[in-house]
Structure 1
Amino acid sequence: MTNTSYKLDNATLTLFQNTQTSIVISVIYMIVTAINLSGNGMSMWLLLFRTSPKTPSIIFMINLTLTDLALGSALPFQISYQLQGYDWRLGPRMCSFLTLVFYTNMYCSVLTMMAIGIDRYLGIVRPMMFRQTRQRKSIAVISCFLMWGLVLGVLYPLMTTDLTYNIPELNITTCFDVLKKNMLPSVSAWALFLFSMVFILFFFPFCVTTFCYISVIRKLARDSKTAQKKRAIRLAIVVLLVFVLCFAPNNILLLVHSILRLFYDRTIYMAYKLSLCFSCLNSCLDPFIYYFASKDFRQKLREIMRMQSLSSADSMKMEQKETLFSGQ
């Protein structure tokens, strides 16, 4: 964050001149993009066309996959920006849009995982309450719209602000890497913005999700089959790993960096920048959540894998026959 007339510190300028960091981040984004589009593309096809009925969990998974595919489509622009030396050439509107896609994916993923956790909690720990709740599909769809509304409401400043910043010393224009302090009218407005992002969109959903999965594991540990218990524990581990490895470092560093920048004129932006690229790994892990959370998804995926293995086996047999005939 900087004033429009403020000169950037040496640490920030060094980051923009560090080609090694830029290449590392770009390589991570390339790997994430490939896994994201292939894994979530197959997941979306299975969830939409091969999985029925559309239970609340399936609806939440479709919502999660949609946000992941949006991120996968936006990452190539970020890769190009990194490889061009942090020089944004697509204009301020495109910068705001892609930044919004980036952060909407993160926080919609957090809220959707919380919704899946609540759905499993009600289904396993509070089954009577769960059965009495009618119109569950409608509630799930409305919940998805409310999630998007909440996230877009909190991130509204990103939609209405020019997030590009010209650095004459390096002859580049950055995108969201240098924020102007006058993006928001006061320090209290900045505090509210950061509080909403870190605590409302991350910390509170993390606590709720953790409570739900711990309650589910305790319930299944008392009176469940071994296979179901193992799947529940694996699902809880994957979800908590996504929170701890992908979302927690980024949100904690965002808060620390913003406080240091606003009040002490110091920065840890390089660490935050690296944590931001690791936050995208959630889009690669989400298909594992679908696998452990949905029995129907699991069965359909196994059927596809079985068909592929059978077709490959048939093709090998055909090749062997052709080899034998050609030998004659």
Structure 2
Amino acid sequence: MHWNREMSDLVLAVYSITLIMGLPANLLAFYTFVRKVRRDAKPIDVLLLSLNISDLIFLFFLPFHMKEAADMKWNFTHFFCAMSMFIFFTAIYNNTFILTAISVERYLGVAFPIKYKIKRNPRNAVITSFIFLVISMGHCSVVFIVQYWIPTNSTTQEQLTQNACYVEFSKEQLKVLMPVRLELFLVLFCIPFLICCFCYINFILILSRLSNISPKKRFRAIGLALATLLVFTICFMPYSVSHLVGFIEWHSPHWREYALLTSTFNASLDPFIFYFSSSALRETLKLCTQGLLKRLSCYPKALYSQSSTDQ
């Protein structure tokens, strides 16, 4: 990013909110999903665990970008710059695939309940998650290519990235980067987004016609659909559109830095999808809440007892 004090404060605020909100929720989800997969694995549990692990890896690397924002320059090695951005982008696009797979799984479950229940297998979800990860990593490996692509002019790559990580590019680098960004927009965003819209729109229509579903279950199902589409729209769409605009104008638009910030919110919004998708997580959250309230209710009694003893 091109740093100034206002941009630094904004980035720190967004990253801090994402980390504070996302880390506890994702750790709780990880604990729940691991237990659920070990006990009784279903395809949706495997997909949710894959999405959860992707978010946790993303959150692990987020503090390094927070330090970059605080220092207003990149103070780590060039290799770590490439590695951190590779993880950053891979997590984003891997999440789009997994969210799409969850939408397909939910749609098939209501559109073809009997056939899908017979044929569903957690192993297929594991294989699917692995394929998604390989595709995402393959596309995002362009970060390493661009980072170590030697420009033909006299300015070295170290000079170009002296104070920033993955910002300045030569003309030769743009020839490689811009077509790849266009492909990312078309393949890793547009296609998953269209599939997700198709599945969840039909998912909601089918549920609206079923009279044997309780209002509570219907609310959770619609909440899942709306939460997923909200994540796509808020987190992935602005940044993906910047790829298209950048390809047309043949340079990164100035607002791309702000669009990238919205993608970081994904790690703090995914727990809403976990909540609507997993009854095990809802039960774990309920138990945690009850335990916390019980402790809080006992705390005033303990203070009263202590004060009485002192007297």
Note whether the superposition's TM-score is higher than 0.5: yes
- 1:121–1:215: 8 Å Cα contact kept in structure 2? yes
How far, CA to CA, are the matches of 2:280 and 2:28 in structure 1?
A: 14
Q: CA deviation at 1:175?
A: 0.9
**Structure 1 partner of 2:132:** 147
- 1:250–1:279: 8 Å Cα contact kept in structure 2? yes
Instruction: Indicate which of 187, 193, 207 corresponds to 1:200.
Output: 187
Aligned residue runs from structure 1 range 43-82, under 5 A: 43-49=29-35, 52-82=39-69
**Structure 1 partner of 2:302:** 318
Would you say 1:285 and 2:244 are equivalent positions?
Answer: no
How far, CA to CA, are the matches of 1:203 and 1:219 in structure 2?
A: 24
What one-letter code is carried by the residue in structure 2 that aligns with 1:293?
S
How far, CA to CA, are the matches of 2:98 and 2:81 in structure 1?
A: 25
How far, CA to CA, are the matches of 1:292 and 1:122 in structure 2?
A: 17
**Structure 2 partner of 1:220:** 207
**Structure 2 partner of 1:8:** none
What one-letter code is carried by the residue in structure 2 that aligns with 1:216?
F
**Structure 2 partner of 1:130:** 116
What one-letter code is carried by the residue in structure 2 that aligns with 1:182?
E
SS of the residue aligned with 1:88?
Answer: coil
**Structure 1 partner of 2:253:** 268
Q: CA deviation at 1:17?
A: 5.2
How far, CA to CA, are the matches of 1:50 and 1:204 in structure 2?
A: 31
SS of the residue aligned with 1:68?
Answer: helix
**Structure 2 partner of 1:299:** 283
Cα gap change, 1:110 to 1:47, in 2 (>3 Å): same
TM norm structure 1: 0.85
- 2:82–2:147: 8 Å Cα contact kept in structure 1? yes
Instruction: Indicate which of 98, 112, 117 corresponds to 2:98.
Output: 112
Instruction: Indicate which of 166, 169, 172 corresponds to 2:159.
Output: 166
How far, CA to CA, are the matches of 1:259 and 1:76 in structure 2?
A: 33
Would you say 1:249 and 2:235 are equivalent positions?
Answer: no
SS of the residue aligned with 1:209?
Answer: helix
Q: Summarize deviations over 1:38-69 as a string: whole Å, max 9, x none.
A: 22112111211366422111111111111111
Q: CA deviation at 1:226?
A: 1.0
SS of the residue aligned with 1:173?
Answer: coil
Return 5+ residue gaps in structure 2 as ranges: 149-156
What one-letter code is carried by the residue in structure 2 that aligns with 1:252?
V
Cα gap change, 1:176 to 1:306, in 2 (>3 Å): same
How far, CA to CA, are the matches of 2:133 and 2:160 in structure 1?
A: 34
How far, CA to CA, are the matches of 1:222 and 1:89 in structure 2?
A: 57
What one-letter code is carried by the residue in structure 2 that aligns with 1:43?
A
Instruction: Indicate which of 166, 181, 196 corresponds to 1:176.
Output: 166
Q: CA deviation at 1:167?
A: 5.0
What one-letter code is carried by the residue in structure 2 that aligns with 1:125?
A
Q: CA deviation at 1:325?
A: 3.6
Return 5+ residue gaps in structure 1 as ranges: 1-14
How far, CA to CA, are the matches of 2:22 and 2:294 in structure 1?
A: 26
How far, CA to CA, are the matches of 1:166 and 1:34 in structure 2?
A: 35
Q: CA deviation at 1:190?
A: 4.4
15-24 or 65-74: bigger deviation: 15-24
What one-letter code is carried by the residue in structure 1 that aligns with 2:173?
M
How far, CA to CA, are the matches of 1:301 and 1:205 in structure 2?
A: 30
SS of the residue aligned with 2:35?
Answer: helix
- 1:61–1:290: 8 Å Cα contact kept in structure 2? yes
**Structure 2 partner of 1:24:** 10
How far, CA to CA, are the matches of 1:248 and 1:202 in structure 2?
A: 8
**Structure 2 partner of 1:210:** 197
What one-letter code is carried by the residue in structure 2 that aligns with 1:238?
A
Q: CA deviation at 1:93?
A: 1.0
Q: CA deviation at 1:212?
A: 1.1
How far, CA to CA, are the matches of 2:167 and 2:104 in structure 1?
A: 35
Coordinate RMSD, CA, aligned: 2.1
Q: Summarize deviations over 1:94-139 as a string: whole Å, max 9, x none.
A: 01100011101111111111111111111112112202315x1000
